[in-house]
Amino acid sequence: LYSTEIMAFVLTTSGWILESSTVSMDFWKVSSNDGSVITTSTFWANLWKHCVTDSTGISNCRDFPSMLALDGYIQACRGLMIAAICLGLFGSVFALVGMKCTKIGGSDKNKARIACFAGVDFILCGICSLSACSLYAHRITTEFFDPMFMSQKYELGAALFIGWAGGILCILGGSVFCFSVADSFSRRLVSATYNSSSSRVQHFDKNAYV
């Protein structure tokens, strides 16, 4: 059981770190203008700014305007990613308290409840990250395949794949936390049933001798 919880903690923490790094990464979407020999410029954007990098490696960036003037999908992605980071932070704290290999959290029953809550927390964290990246990717692909869209067309950036990977790791680790707690409760129930049956048999034997 210890190894299962440690594996779940490693998975969820790794996923949370990937999600946290995704928020500030540059390449959420990317597009290139190719010259006759080399790429002349690369356009890219994330949740906070638009940039263009020329062939010499110099980047010119423009921050997004006021939040109230942003497109709705960017605001939604920001909110979902920030929610994912906060949920992952709280989930990490609850996981440390609820794991059986730590000395805090009270009784085993109380620690199991805390670990289960941490698992649910991480599952929600992963869902938020997957939703944000999928929403952003859907906007990119919709514009890319729209023949009536005449502005700059972009492709999926590396940050989206990292965000998806982080969300999947959080969901997997959170599920392991929940299943490990359920397995612990089932073992405890079986043990209690066995002890009760044994005590009844012993009591019956004593009465038979009497």
Model pTM score: 0.81
Residue type for position 59: S
Q: What is the DSSP letter of 65?
A: -
What rounded mean pLDDT belongs to the chain?
83
- Alpha-carbon dihedral of residues 71, 64, 20, 158, nearest 10 degrees? 80
H-helix segments, the chain = 2-24, 72-98, 108-144, 158-209
How confident is the model at residue 194, as a pLDDT?
45
d(C-alpha 113, C-alpha 71), whole Å: 40
Of the listed ranges 29-38, 59-68, 102-111, 164-173, the one predicted with least confidence = 29-38
Rg for the chain, CA atoms, rounded = 26
For residue 55, give both structure tokens.
């062939």
Mean pLDDT within 169-198: 68
φ, ψ of residue 39 to 5 degrees: the values are -75, 125
φ, ψ of residue 104 to 5 degrees: the values are -115, 160
pLDDT (tens digit per residue) in 32-49 = 766 545 557 888 999 999
| 85 close to 124: Cβ distance less than 8 angstroms | no
Across 120-130, b (16+ Cβ under 10 Å) vs e yields: bbbbbbbbbbb
| DSSP reduced 3-state for 30 | strand
For residue 183, give both structure tokens.
């397995």
- Whether 171 has a pLDDT exceeding 90, the answer reads yes
pLDDT (tens digit per residue) in 116-135 = 899 999 999 999 999 999 99
Highest mean pLDDT among 93-107, 142-156, 166-180, 181-195: 166-180
Q: What percent of the chain has pLDDT over 70?
A: 82
The structural domains of the chain, ordered by start, are 1-202 (1.20.140.150)
